[in-house]
Amino acid sequence: MSASVALILTIGGLAAVVIAGTGSPGALALWATIAFFGIKIPVLGLLWWLLGRSEHTVESPALSSGATIAALARLRLSAERACGVPDAWDRLDALAAEAGYVAAHAPAELTIEATSVEANLRALRDEMRPVSPR
């Protein structure tokens, strides 16, 4: 569909330029108006409609208590292991992002603990930030 729209706009634009070059400069303005209102706006409307049809309208389910506890334990253990390697900052950044997901999907009784783990990982990540050489 996008290739056909591009082809129509290109051929129409070239035709309008040729007609404008032969002494009818209003043809270019007419083509620009037709292309904008007759082609571009409807195609953008269709694209907006397609993108707006989200299949993820249902909220994602919360993690179970057992899964949250296991994830937090694994994140803590992985953070301890990550501190001794040369790419610690990258690993801790990924772990902090995962902890953010766990905190967002944790059950209510574990939200504070999950948020605490996320904050600790982000602080640890910031301590390990590589220093840029100058």
The pLDDT of residue 21: 82
Average pLDDT of span 64-93: 91
The overall average pLDDT reported for the chain is: 86
Confirm whether 134 is domain-assigned: no
Confirm whether 22 is domain-assigned: yes
The pLDDT of residue 58: 61
The pLDDT of residue 70: 95
11, 41: one domain = yes
46, 70: one domain = no
Query: Over pLDDT 70: what percentage of the chain?
Result: 92
Residue 134 has pLDDT above 80, yes or no: no
As a whole number of angstroms, the distance between CA 11 and CA 22 comes to: 17
Q: How many domains does the chain have?
A: 2
70, 104: one domain = yes
Confirm whether 18 is domain-assigned: yes
Tokens 């993690």 map to which residue?
63
77, 118: one domain = yes
Domain that holds residue 81: 65-127
As a whole number of angstroms, the distance between CA 104 and CA 83 comes to: 25
The region, left, alpha or beta by phi > 0 then psi within -120 to 50, assigned to residue 131 is beta
The pLDDT of residue 57: 61
The pLDDT of residue 79: 92
Residue 132 has pLDDT above 90, yes or no: no
What would the pLDDT profile of 82-131 be if each residue is shown by its tens digit?
A: 888 888 889 999 999 999 999 999 998 999 999 999 999 999 988 888 77
Confirm whether 59 is domain-assigned: no
User: Which residues neighbour 113 within 8 Å (Cβ) at sequence distance 6 or greater?
Assistant: 72, 106
Q: What is the DSSP letter of 53?
A: -
Kindly indicate the confidence band of residue 15, based on its pLDDT and cuts at 50, 70 and 90: confident
